[in-house]
Amino acid sequence: MKDAKKGDELWFHFSGHGVLQRDTNGDEESGQDSCICPVDFEKSGFIIDDDLRRLLVIPDGVKLYVILDCCHSGTGCDLRYKIEDQSYYNKSGRPLKYDSNDWTLKQTMYQFKNHSKSNGDIYMISGCQDSQTSADAVEEGQSQGALTYCLLKTLKNNFGNCKWKVLLKDLRCLLKIKGYTQIPVLTSGKQINTDDNIFVTEKSIDNLLDKLISRGLIM
């Protein structure tokens, strides 16, 4: 992160286990810290959200996209603003496929005043709310996190366009259609306009998807 310069776009993706532990510095409204479990956690311990926030500091003019596909990850980077999606299916019966016209958009924003705003632009998509678990899944013959699968599927299929409000809505709806109960959360270090495009350039998402496809992470 220290070598990042204005105009850079960075990605941090964690798929694994997440837990909650008691907050010891009083910055959490829930009284609990979200933690990720590195492979050596039995020796070195968990990485708490306070530490993630300190480690992911970036300068002004840099964009950082964080994906935490793990349990109890809703506020996993201690960012200032949280946006939750409560979009709902406006037809009868259970939805079997995604049609944006069948879902009514409903999203709410909340501000954590105990968490400072970030210098650069940090955006984090979680696998679930702090109180929830994130499912392991087998999709298209591959073992993967449900959030990771649905996020990449949403980006690849580009349900609508790459605005924040559309991505969050489509991601939530796809998870529901696939039968997952977890609710992804978008948090940010600065207040964002959900009508804004997610990526700086049109090539950003194409480059990301090309890399993931070449590594066999998505089909």
Please provide the average confidence, as pLDDT, over all residues in the chain.
88
CB 58 within 8 A of CB 72: no
Q: Which domains does the chain have, with CATH numbers?
A: 9-214 (3.40.50.12660)
pLDDT for residue 25: 92
Residues marked active site are found at 17, 71
pLDDT at 58 exceeding the cut of 50? yes
Q: Token pair of 165, please?
A: 């409000």
Q: How confident is the model at residue 209 (pLDDT cuts 50, 70, 90)?
A: low
- Residue whose token pair is 């998402």: 205
